[in-house]
């Protein structure tokens, strides 16, 4: 064979390599993801070619990725039977003509002031991440074009590389990394297995590590949902969410605009936060064409959706998304909005078409809907529609939506009334309900401590104010007058009110009023505070202790 030819890396690539080699110390493991995703891309391209080209070299080779480690030689090898590269392509893709990305990468590194390895693949320079761990990188490649010979490309990353023809190469690319002394852990089977399972579990093509298949679970989210069985979904959920239960709800959808998105989302059977277990962490993983970008992206979805599990895959994402760049942050926000909107619509449909299933969901996860309704201004309207409460008109255990409440409102009724109490019994046996009951006004029953906060934040629905029925300002329309012999005279009433006011003043009662609000009870205490309800006051008191 001809003698190796020496080539200088282009200036920007030199600069880039200098940083990769000398200043990137964290997340070195991502080089495995980058090289695996390149291998997967090369196989994908070959699969496309097979549809149109007749003359493909080694057309019978399996479309797979083989990774081998050698603990003695301290090497890791990544091989694919993809499209391969001609010598011109090796020169162009791996070093002479800089991708526009390398410039952008250098700029981003400079701007973020942070030597972040995880930035690297984002700019189409993922291949160079190999130099974080390599003494030398050797690339043997042979193009699918039958008349192109194989070549071997070698570099230690220090400014130049060599290229020479190589006989006996099969189609595809084989990258051998001679590991640096501080990176020999990547020659260990168990370490590499762990990394592959994390980042590349759903890559379409078989990945074999030292002869053993790693990725056996399919990327269900990219398949047609009409062809997927329930059991497959359940199996996927258990694998992906590390779950032991069956999913309660699932939503599988794809969108093309404004972004290309495939998503498969699950709601677990139980809400573990409800049982006092740790606060849930975001668990919808972000993928780009089946390669994991972030298993637990923090800012993808709103906080209240932290009970969701599953996968979001977008082709529009760079492999190494970075929250430091505005552009990526905007992209993540956009994806998050699409997912949230779609999921809310799904719940709305579920509530309509399968109210019993929705009610069960709400019993477990309603607390998150409430949290969202109170705090997520962007989705408040949709979330408010999803709230459910028992009321003075529902049976025990049956809840109503605000929409249904409004449809039952009396003529002239302008507000939605609610009462907070420990239970239905507590509210029904208290004095506050009487005036509303006697006028046939429906009152929502709120049993959870957070409800008060929710009602205060949601404030209104469909233009109707949410009003605490035990507030002094509530004006009720006239009730039917009781018979004359059952009431006090005006003068007697006045005397009684004055005496009560004087007697109770010492106990903190601000004002005593005669009212027709009560039917059976002799008296009730109303809350005159515009800002604090009795329950809030109790909470404050508890906190001050
Ligand atoms: P990106 O994958 O974003 O294009 P990389 O730096 O990872 O950037 O790779 C640069 C280019 O090198 C790829 O676009 C591809 O053309 C080529 N390449 C890298 N690895 C392979 C491979 N295993 N087989 C064929 N071509 C490859
Ligand atoms: Mg790449």
- H or E segment and range at residue 163: strand 160-166
291 CB within 6 A, ligand 1: no
Ligand 1, atom 4, lies closest to the CA of 124
pLDDT-wise least confident of 151-160, 292-301, 337-346, 474-483: 474-483
State residue 528's pLDDT score: 66
Q: List, as one string, the DSSP characters of 478-527.
A: PPPPPPGGGS--HHHHHHHHHHHHHHHHTTT-------S--SS-S----B
More confident of the two residues 3 and 5: 5
Of 14-28, 179-193, 317-331, which has the strongest mean pLDDT? 179-193
**Is a pLDDT exceeding 70 seen at residue 21?**
yes
Region of 412 (left: φ > 0; alpha: ψ -120 to 50; beta: rest) is: left
Q: Give, using CA atoms, the residue closest to atom 11 of ligand 1.
A: 93
Distance 299 CA to ligand 2 centre (A): 25
Of 388, 508, 532, nearest to 452 (Cα)? Answer: 532
CA of 91 to the centre of ligand 1 (A): 12
pLDDT of residue 151: 97
| Residues 99-145 pLDDT 10s | 666 777 777 777 665 566 666 665 667 899 999 999 999 999 999 99
Which among 34, 36, 38, 78 is the best mutation to test ligand 1's pocket, defined by most ligand atoms within 8 Å of the CB?
A: 38
Residue 479 pLDDT > 80 = no
pLDDT (average), residues 79-85:
98
Q: How many CB atoms neighbour CB 98 within 10 A?
A: 19
pLDDT value of position 116: 62
Question: Does the C-beta of 42 come closer than 6 Å to ligand 1?
Answer: yes
Give pLDDT tens digits for 298-339. Answer: 889 999 999 999 999 998 887 666 666 677 788 899 999 999
Tell me what the mean pLDDT of segment 421-440 comes to: 90
Query: Which residues participate in the annotated binding site?
Result: 34, 38, 80, 85, 93, 100-101, 122-127, 173, 323
Residue located nearest, by CA, to atom 19 of ligand 1: 38
Q: What is the pLDDT at residue 543? A: 60
Mean pLDDT of 61-73: 97
- The band of 155, judged by pLDDT with boundaries at 50, 70 and 90, is very high
**Average pLDDT of every residue of the chain:** 88
466: β partners: 416
- Nearest Cα residue to atom 20 of ligand 1: 38
**Residue 318 Cβ contacting ligand 1 at under 6 Å:** no
Closest ligand 1 atom to residue 175 Cα is: 23
Distance, CA of 169 to CA of 99 (rounded, Å): 27
What residues pack around ion ligand 2 (CB closer than 5 A)? Answer: 38, 126
**Ligand 1 pocket mutation pick from 104, 127, 317, 320 by most atoms within 8 angstroms of CB:** 127
Q: What is the pLDDT of residues 206-233, one digit of tens each?
A: 999 999 999 988 899 999 999 999 999 9
Handedness of CA 45, 46, 52, 57 (dihedral sign): positive
Check whether 545 has a pLDDT greater than 60: no
Average pLDDT over residues 522-540: 67
Q: What is the DSSP string of 301-341?
A: S-GGGTT-EEEEEETTS-SS--TTSHHHHHHHHHHHHHHHH
Higher pLDDT, 273 or 138: 138
| Ligand with an atom nearest the CA of residue 98 | 1
Question: Is the distance from the beta carbon of residue 328 to the nearest atom of ligand 1 less than 6 Å?
Answer: no
Residues annotated within the binding site for ATP are 34, 38, 80, 85, 93, 100-101, 122-127, 173, 323
Cis peptide bond prior to 44, omega within 30° of 0:
no
Ligand with an atom nearest the CA of residue 130: 1
pLDDT, mean of residues 507-532: 73
User: What is the mean predicted confidence (pLDDT) over 461-471?
Assistant: 93
């Amino acid at each position: 064979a001809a003698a190796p030819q020496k080539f200088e890396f282009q200036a920007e690539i030199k600069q880039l390599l200098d940083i990769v080699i000398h200043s990137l110390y964290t997340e070195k493991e991502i080089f495995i993801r980058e090289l695996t995703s390149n291998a997967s891309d090369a196989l994908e391209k070959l699969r496309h070619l097979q549809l149109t080209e007749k003359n493909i070299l080694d057309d019978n080779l399996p479309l797979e990725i083989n990774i081998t480690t050698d603990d003695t030689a301290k090497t890791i090898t990544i091989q694919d039977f993809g499209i391969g590269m001609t010598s011109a392509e090796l020169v162009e893709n791996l070093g002479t003509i800089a991708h526009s990305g390398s410039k952008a990468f250098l700029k981003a590194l400079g701007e973020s002031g942070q030597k972040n390895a995880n930035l690297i693949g984002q700019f189409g320079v993922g291949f160079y991440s190999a130099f974080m761990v390599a003494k030398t990188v050797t690339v043997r490649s042979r193009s699918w074009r039958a008349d192109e010979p194989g070549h071997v490309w070698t570099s230690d990353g220090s400014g130049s590389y060599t290229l020479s023809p190589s006989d006996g190469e099969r189609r595809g690319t084989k990258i051998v990394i001679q590991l640096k002394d501080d990176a020999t852990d990547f020659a260990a089977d168990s370490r590499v297995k762990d990394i592959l399972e994390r980042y590349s579990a759903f890559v379409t093509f078989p990945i074999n590590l030292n002869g053993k298949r790693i990725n056996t679970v399919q990327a269900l989210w990219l398949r047609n949902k009409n062809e997927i069985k329930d059991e497959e979904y359940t199996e996927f959920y258990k694998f992906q969410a590390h779950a032991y239960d069956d999913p309660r709800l699932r939503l599988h959808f794809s969108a093309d605009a404004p972004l290309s998105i495939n998503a498969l989302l699950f709601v677990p059977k139980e809400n573990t936060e409800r049982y006092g277990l740790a606060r849930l962490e975001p668990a919808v993983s972000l993928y780009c064409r089946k390669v994991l970008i972030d298993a637990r992206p923090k800012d993808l979805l709103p906080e209240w959706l932290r009970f969701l599990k599953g996968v979001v895959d977008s082709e529009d994402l760079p492999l190494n998304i970075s929250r430091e760049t505005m552009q990526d942050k905007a992209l993540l926000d956009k994806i998050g909005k699409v997912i949230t909107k779609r999921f809310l619509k799904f719940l709305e449909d579920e509530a309509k078409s399968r109210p019993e299933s929705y009610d069960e969901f709400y019993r477990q996860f309603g607390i998150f809907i409430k949290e969202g309704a109170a705090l997520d201004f962007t989705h408040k309207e949709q979330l408010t529609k999803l709230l459910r409460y028992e009321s003075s008109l529902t049976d025990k255990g049956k809840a109503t939506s605000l929409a249904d409440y409004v449809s039952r409102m009396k003529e002239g009724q302008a507000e939605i009334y609610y009462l907070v109490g420990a239970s239905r019994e507590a509210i029904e046996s208290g004095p506050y309900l009487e005036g509303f009951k006697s006028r046939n006004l429906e009152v929502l029953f709120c049993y959870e401590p957070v409800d008060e906060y929710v009602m205060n934040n949601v404030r209104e629905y469909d233009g109707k104010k949410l009003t605490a029925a035990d507030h002094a300002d509530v004006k009720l329309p006239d009730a039917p007058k009781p018979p004359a012999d059952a009431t006090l005279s005006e003068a007697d009433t006045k005397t009684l009110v004055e005496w009560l006011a004087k007697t109770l003043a010492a106990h903190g009662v601000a004002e005593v009023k005669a009212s027709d609000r009560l039917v059976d009870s002799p008296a009730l205490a109303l809350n005159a505070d515009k800002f604090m309800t009795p329950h809030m006051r109790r909470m404050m008191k508890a906190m001050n202790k």
